[in-house]
């Protein structure tokens, strides 16, 4: 009885291809990235959200810090099918590895290096995949729609409404991920209109590099720009990637990126209600 019921249990749906299939574990970070680096024995994920709650106000959602045992390299999701994991995702990791190694290098002959358009697209695709898996590893609700995830798998390129920047990072953060989830109304609507837009802001910092991935689940939220002296836009493709930029970003730059909201003020709202509970810390095993 128990046995037959278990046999009938349907497979979960794969996060990327959407098919019911046997699942495998997908680590949020490739393991080689952590080689030779002393990692904290815990991983910390900070999740922040905010949305329009009045004509003139935005309100902060609970500001949650989750601490989990095990280094960041153990973060994984169990909803990627074996076909995806051993197929396109494995090939993407293989293609991205030498590019990431070059991006993270301490120095370059003649002080600089250039990534071709194709290289930049591979880096952007890898960054988008990693940010989405990272969001899923710490949040029940994710920003990219099933169609967007399928697009990434089928086209091996980020979908519409995804932007990716890279920067040189100098600071104490290593293997940090800031995950910001934003809910807002369509910019053409009143604040209480029902066309909601969801935005993921994920900043990942590792080996002296910070990557920012912004994914919107549709058109209608304002864009923002970052100083090109610090951040290089690599998706949508802006040209070859001249690396490194003249200036590095700091821990503070990285930490405030996922939590900034000024660019969401449409029109400008004067009030920002902070969550009265402050930062909630949750310890998980």
Say how many residues touch Zn ion, by CB under 5 A: 5
Does 133 sit near Zn ion (CB under 5 A)? no
Q: Answer for the pair 49, 15: CB distance below 8 angstroms, yes or no.
A: no
Contact 148, 200 (CB under 8 A): no
Among positions 82-111, residues that touch Zn ion (CB under 5 A) are: 84
> Between residue 146 and residue 205, which ones bind Zn ion under the rule CB under 5 A?
none
Write down how long the chain is: 285
Which lies closer to Zn ion via its Cβ, residue 47 or residue 128? 128
Query: From the list 17, 28, 137, 179, which residue makes contact with Zn ion (rule: CB under 5 A)?
Result: 17
Judged by beta carbon, residue 86 or residue 114, the one nearer Zn ion is: 86
Shortest separation between residue 25's beta carbon and Zn ion, angstroms: 13
Q: Which one of 16-24, 36-44, 98-106, 212-220 is the stretch in contact with Zn ion (CB under 5 A)?
A: 16-24
Q: Which residues contact 99 (CB under 8 A, 6 or more apart)?
A: 115, 119, 122, 123, 126
Q: Closer CB to Zn ion, residue 21 or residue 66?
A: 21
CB-hemisphere CA count at 13 Å for 247?
Answer: 9
| 192 Rama sector, left if φ>0, alpha if ψ -120 to 50, beta otherwise | alpha
Between residues 84 and 257, which has the closer beta carbon with respect to Zn ion? 84
In angstroms, give the least distance from the CB of 152 to Zn ion: 11
* Contact stretch for Zn ion (CB under 5 A) within 14-22, 52-60, 138-146, 172-180: 14-22
In this complex, which beta carbon is closest to Zn ion, that of residue 16 or of residue 261? 16
* Stretch of 53-61, 75-83, 103-111, 191-199 contacting Zn ion, by CB under 5 A: 75-83
Site stretch for Zn ion (CB under 5 A), options 24-32, 76-84, 225-233, 273-281? 76-84
14: contact with Zn ion by CB under 5 A: yes
Tell the smallest beta-carbon distance from residue 145 to Zn ion (Å).
16
In the set 23, 73, 77, 81, which binds Zn ion (CB under 5 A)? 81
- What value, to the nearest 5°, has the Cα angle with vertex 190 and ends 184 and 195? 50
Residue 17 or residue 211: which is nearer to Zn ion going by CB? Answer: 17
Interacting stretch for Zn ion, rule CB under 5 A, among 79-87, 119-127, 143-151, 183-191? 79-87
| Pairwise CA distance, residues 176 & 195, whole Å | 33
CA distance 247 to 142: 32
Q: Please state the closest distance from residue 92 (CB atom) to Zn ion, in A.
A: 13
> Binding segment for Zn ion among 23-31, 56-64, 80-88, 228-236 (CB under 5 A)?
80-88
List residues near Zn ion by CB under 5 A: 14, 16-17, 81, 84
């Amino acid at each position: 009885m128990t046995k037959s019921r278990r046999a009938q249990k349907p497979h979960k749906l794969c996060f990327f291809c959407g098919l019911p299939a046997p699942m495998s574990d997908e680590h949020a970070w490739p393991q080689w990235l952590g080689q030779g680096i002393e990692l904290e024995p815990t991983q910390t994920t900070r999740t922040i959200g905010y949305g329009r709650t009045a004509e003139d106000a935005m309100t902060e959602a609970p500001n949650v810090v989750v601490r989990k045992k095990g280094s960041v390299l153990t973060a994984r999701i169990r909803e990627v099918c074996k076909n995806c994991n051993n197929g396109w995702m494995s090939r993407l990791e293989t293609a991205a590895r030498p590019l990431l190694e070059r991006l993270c290098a301490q120095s370059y002959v003649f002080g600089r290096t250039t990534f071709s358009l194709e290289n930049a697209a591979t880096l952007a695709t890898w960054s988008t995949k990693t940010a989405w898996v990272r969001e899923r590893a710490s949040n029940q609700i994710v920003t990219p729609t099933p169609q967007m995830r399928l697009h990434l798998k089928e086209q091996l390129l980020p979908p519409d409404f995804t932007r990716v920047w890279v920067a040189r990072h100098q600071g104490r953060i290593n293997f940090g991920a800031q995950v910001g989830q934003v809910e807002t109304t369509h910019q053409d609507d009143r604040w209480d209109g029902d066309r909601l837009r969801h935005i993921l802001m994920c900043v990942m910092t590792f080996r002296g590099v910070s990557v920012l991935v912004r994914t919107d689940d549709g058109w209608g939220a304002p864009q923002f720009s970052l100083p090109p002296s610090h951040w290089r836009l690599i998706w949508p493709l802006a040209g070859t990637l001249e690396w490194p930029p003249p200036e590095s970003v700091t821990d503070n730059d990285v930490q405030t990126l996922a939590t900034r909201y000024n660019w969401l003020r449409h029109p400008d709202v004067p009030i920002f209600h902070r969550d009265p509970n402050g930062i909630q810390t949750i310890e998980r095993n």
